[in-house]
């Protein structure tokens, strides 16, 4: 935004292509689609009390609301300009003040901050749902919400977390730091980068609207035939996950293209920061798995709106088709959540261990191995669904085999810590906790990959404990490690170490106190997604609920830290507060729009701790010594 634009009154600046415009056109688009759907499919035109279960109207409402939202944000201008034959440009709205954060901006750093705030918002909504779930489970019979609303609550929590957090690391941190780490000025497709964020926000808002349309009873997996029988609140699930899938796919595509094409001279594949390997392997999964999810969800949409029968046995379809398609995406998605965590942990460890990353190539092989194997395990989710029993051994073996490359990542991390002079900063504490949590999650996963024990524990709290240990214990701890590690570079201020350590210990203890007992509850027979349970499980459930509330309170400590450090104290962050050798820390803080004054030439490894530093930027004409 130019200074002339900044001089305009606020009301004048609010009119234009920005978030406000997006919301206005999004709401208008929704009502247009709603009206159109009723014209097409039904006779009633009752905007506020529709009882016709008119899925066509609701789906068209969502479609037009997303289109309107994107037009209002300004995403239609460039495609239209290209249709008129105008030349390609790569930058839009990169200069200016805080207005950049509320609209289309192609600066990868702005998009990274947008992601961090947007994802943080939905993460807290998802977390609030978890608190409500645990409040309901304080007693063995329904007390607060009733069975139907409880299912919606569980579904909202799971769907929000599994959907939005797929971009939890790549969105904020990879978008912000991958270009810096590889010495680039921009992402390969800057507008695609921007649209991935706004698609995700539209998806989150659409999911929340399910509350106005009766919710959905399927949990986050959306299984058939329940997905066809559900009331039309389920349409919001379809659109949410389809938009998340689209966003993921575009994000992954952009990340791969950026890392392949935009690396600085000298940054060979064997010098690529390990976080970039985590990002690229995650991106491969996103690009290949997300389209299958989108296809499956659109099939559900067709079943509900135009009466196809993809998933109806009685009409020539099969509910198993949905399970296969969903889990072909769903299991790689678990690694979409886990692999960025691997990258973060291995990126941060050497900095605070002050040692080179042990077994760089082994770690890379581990990360890529996990990504590859994740495509061959999905049917372990169908062990008790009527899967042909002759297929079980293969999927049992392939699932267990994943522990091998995962073990390589652990090995690299552990060996890096061996005899290191560890600095126990807040990011490092979260890294160390990650090892503890993910080990428990991984070890319990072996039981679930094994057919006999999976048959006994399937659908129980044991499964829930397992995936919370891998996803929350893995991804979320890595996510917070990344926040404490990179926020000084992103915002130019240091977060309070003291409050950070309180946050860490509260979160770590409460997390384990919440989820470890769930293994026992699962083994004692408490099923997932059921609001009632036997009364003898009440004491343990009360323990879990209280622990969960403490876990929720630990997030408030984090929020307090953010407000205290970023708003009140504002202690300026040095350019490189952790003495890291990675390229992103060699830039000034705050990072200038063009990232680097000159293109860096890389001639060292990023983890050569103990080796004398080599200048990363060759002297330009201004600094060159005078001749003679």
Partner 1 sequence: MSDAPTQTPADGYAETPELHERIDRIGFGLVGGATVMFFLGFVFAYFYLRSLDNNSLWRPAGVEPPDGYGIAIAAALALSAAAFGYAARVAKRGESGWVAASGLALVLGLFACVAQCFEYAHIPFGPESGGYASVFFGWTALYVVVTLIALWRVETIFAVGLRHHGEVGAAVPEGFVPGATYWALLAAIGVLAWVVLYLL
Which positions lie near partner 1, rule CB under 8 A? 77-79, 81-95, 185-186, 188-189, 249, 252-253, 256-257, 260-262, 287-292, 294-296, 298-299, 302-303, 306-310, 313-318, 320-321, 324-325, 593-594, 597-599, 620
In the complex, least distance from residue 66 CB atom to partner 1, rounded to whole angstroms: 14
Q: CB count, 10 Å around CB of 142?
A: 15
* 416 prior amide bond cis, ω within 30: no
Residue 252 or 522: the one with the smaller Cβ distance to partner 1 is: 252
- The Cα-based distances of 223 to 35, 62, 238, 324, 471 in angstroms read 29, 21, 12, 10, 21
- The Cα-based distances of 191 to 75, 78, 80, 188 in angstroms read 8, 9, 14, 9
Residue 90 or 361: the one with the smaller Cβ distance to partner 1 is: 90
CA distance 497 to 429: 11
In the complex, least distance from residue 583 CB atom to partner 1, rounded to whole angstroms: 15
Helix-then-strand count for the chain, H and E: 22, 0
**47, two tokens:** 């905007």
**133, two tokens:** 């779930």
Residue 324 or 470: the one with the smaller Cβ distance to partner 1 is: 324
In the complex, least distance from residue 314 CB atom to partner 1, rounded to whole angstroms: 6
**299, two tokens:** 């099939």
Residue 189 or 479: the one with the smaller Cβ distance to partner 1 is: 189
In the complex, least distance from residue 73 CB atom to partner 1, rounded to whole angstroms: 13
- Phi, psi of 504, deg, nearest 5: -60, -50
In the complex, least distance from residue 95 CB atom to partner 1, rounded to whole angstroms: 8
The residues, ordered by sequence, that sit 6+ positions from 394 with a Cβ below 8 Å of its Cβ are none
Residue 4 or 87: the one with the smaller Cβ distance to partner 1 is: 87
In the complex, least distance from residue 316 CB atom to partner 1, rounded to whole angstroms: 3
Q: Cα 234 to chain center, whole Å? A: 22
Residue 19 or 286: the one with the smaller Cβ distance to partner 1 is: 286
- The Cα-based distances of 593 to 18, 189, 255 in angstroms read 20, 16, 19
In the complex, least distance from residue 236 CB atom to partner 1, rounded to whole angstroms: 20
Is residue 132 helix, strand or coil?
helix
* Residues paired with 572 in a beta bridge: 493
Residue 134 or 186: the one with the smaller Cβ distance to partner 1 is: 186
CA distance 117 to 232: 30
In the complex, least distance from residue 594 CB atom to partner 1, rounded to whole angstroms: 6
In the complex, least distance from residue 238 CB atom to partner 1, rounded to whole angstroms: 14
Residue 261 or 535: the one with the smaller Cβ distance to partner 1 is: 261
CA distance 290 to 252: 10
In the complex, least distance from residue 313 CB atom to partner 1, rounded to whole angstroms: 5
Looking up tokens 């509850």 gives: 521
Residue 68 or 473: the one with the smaller Cβ distance to partner 1 is: 68
| DSSP-derived secondary structure letter, 272 | S
Residue 257 or 493: the one with the smaller Cβ distance to partner 1 is: 257
Residue pair 223/322 in contact (Cβ under 8 Å)? The answer is yes
Is residue 622 helix, strand or coil?
coil
**135, two tokens:** 């409040």
């Amino acid at each position: 935004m130019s200074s002339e634009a900044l001089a305009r009154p606020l009301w004048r600046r609010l009119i234009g292509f920005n978030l406000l415009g997006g919301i206005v056109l999004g709401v208008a688009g929704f009502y247009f689609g709603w009206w159109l759907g009723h014209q097409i499919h039904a006779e009633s035109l009752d905007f506020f009390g529709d009882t016709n279960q008119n899925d066509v109207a609701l789906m068209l409402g969502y479609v037009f609301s997303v289109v309107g939202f994107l037009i209002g944000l300004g995403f239609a201008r460039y495609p239209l300009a290209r249709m008129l034959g105008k030349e390609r440009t790569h930058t839009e709205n990169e200069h200016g003040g805080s207005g950049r954060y509320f609209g289309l901006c192609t600066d990868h750093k702005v998009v990274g901050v947008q992601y961090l705030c947007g994802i943080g918002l939905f993460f807290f909504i998802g977390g609030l749902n978890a608190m409500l779930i645990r409040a309901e489970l304080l007693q063995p019979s329904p007390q607060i919400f009733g069975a139907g609303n409880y299912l919606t609550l569980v579904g909202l929590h799971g769907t929000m977390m599994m959907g939005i957090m797929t971009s939890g690391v790549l969105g904020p941190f990879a978008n912000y730091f991958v270009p810096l780490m590889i010495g680039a000025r921009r992402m390969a497709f800057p507008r695609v980068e921007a649209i991935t964020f706004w698609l995700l926000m539209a998806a989150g808002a659409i999911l929340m609207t399910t509350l106005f349309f009766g919710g959905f009873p399927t949990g986050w997996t959306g299984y058939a035939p329940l997905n066809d029988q559900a009331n039309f609140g389920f349409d919001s699930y379809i659109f949410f996950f389809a938009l998340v899938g689209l966003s993921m796919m575009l994000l992954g595509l952009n990340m791969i293209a950026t890392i392949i094409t935009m690396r600085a001279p000298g940054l060979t594949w064997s010098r690529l920061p390990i976080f970039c390997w985590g990002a690229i392997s995650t991106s491969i999964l996103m690009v290949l798995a997300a389209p299958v999810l989108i296809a499956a969800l659109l099939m559900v949409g067709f079943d509900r709106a135009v009466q196809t029968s993809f998933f109806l046995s009685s009409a020539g379809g099969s509910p198993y088709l949905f399970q296969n398609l969903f889990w072909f995406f769903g299991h790689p998605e678990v690694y979409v959540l886990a692999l960025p965590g691997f990258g973060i942990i291995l990126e941060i460890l050497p900095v605070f261990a002050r040692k080179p990353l042990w077994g760089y190539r082994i770690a890379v092989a581990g990360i890529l191995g996990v990504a590859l194997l994740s495509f061959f395990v999905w049917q372990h989710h169908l062990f008790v669904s009527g899967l042909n029993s002759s297929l079980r051994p293969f999927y049992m073996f392939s699932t267990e085999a994943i522990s091998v490359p995962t073990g390589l990542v652990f090995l690299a991390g552990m060996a890096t810590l061996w005899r290191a002079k560890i600095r126990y900063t807040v990011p490092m504490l979260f890294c160390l906790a990650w090892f503890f949590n993910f080990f428990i999650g991984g070890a319990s996963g072996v039981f679930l990959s094994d057919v006999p024990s999976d048959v006994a524990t399937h659908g129980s709290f044991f499964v829930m404990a397992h995936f919370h240990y891998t996803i929350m214990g893995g991804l979320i701890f890595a996510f917070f490690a990344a926040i404490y590690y990179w926020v000084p570079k992103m915002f130019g201020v240091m977060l309070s170490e003291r409050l950070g350590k309180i946050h860490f210990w509260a979160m770590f203890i409460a997390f384990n106190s919440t989820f470890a007992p769930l293994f026992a509850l699962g083994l004692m027979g408490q099923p997932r997604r059921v609001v009632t349970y036997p009364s003898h499980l009440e004491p343990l459930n009360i323990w879990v609920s209280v622990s969960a509330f403490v876990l929720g309170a630990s997030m408030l400590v984090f929020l307090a830290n953010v407000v205290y450090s970023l708003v009140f104290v504002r202690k300026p962050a040095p350019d490189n507060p952790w003495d890291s050798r990675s390229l992103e820390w060699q830039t000034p803080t705050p990072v200038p729009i063009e990232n680097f004054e000159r293109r860096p030439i890389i001639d060292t490894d990023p983890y050569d701790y103990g080796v004398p530093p080599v200048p990363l930027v060759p002297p330009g004409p201004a600094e060159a010594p005078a001749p003679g």
